[in-house]
């Protein structure tokens, strides 16, 4: 059973930056190289939304709300999926989840992701 563990969440001031990382409990290199991966977030009272996706060929896609500010990437040396967040805004505050899909090489749909982490909290103050 694959488990995903997020880290790097915390508090930041508006305009600041944070970097999230996600590591798989097993087969991390396979997960990174062979699966669709993504970051989602959910704020209290709101639906979960996709933040960024990265495919097997490292093609990336971002939600309009974070485009130009966030960068999703894979660090094969560390075996992690990262999300670099810059120019943070209070509306970026949410629980952030890492997701991996073993049945697909690329997806923008949450139902294609088979494994989800427990989440890491990001809080941005104005």
The mean pLDDT of the chain is 95
Model confidence over 47-98: pLDDT tens digits? 999 999 999 888 999 999 999 999 999 999 999 999 999 999 999 999 999 9
Strands 120-125 and 10-13: parallel
Cα separation, 28 vs 60, whole angstroms: 19
Residue of 12, 9, 94, 84 lying closest to 47 (CA atoms) = 94
């Amino acid at each position: 059973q694959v488990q995903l563990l997020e880290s790097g969440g915390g508090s930041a001031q508006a305009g600041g930056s944070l970097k999230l990382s996600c590591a798989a409990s097993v087969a991390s290199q396979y997960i990174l190289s062979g699966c669709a991966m993504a970051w989602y977030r959910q704020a209290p009272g709101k639906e979960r939304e996709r933040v960024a996706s990265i495919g097997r060929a490292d093609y990336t896609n971002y939600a309009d709300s974070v485009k130009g500010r966030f960068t999703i990437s894979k660090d094969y040396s560390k075996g992690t999926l990262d999300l670099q967040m810059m120019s943070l805004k209070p509306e970026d505050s949410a629980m952030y989840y890492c997701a991996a899909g073993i049945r697909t090489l690329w997806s923008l749909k949450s139902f294609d992701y088979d494994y989800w982490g427990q989440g890491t909290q990001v809080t941005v103050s104005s």
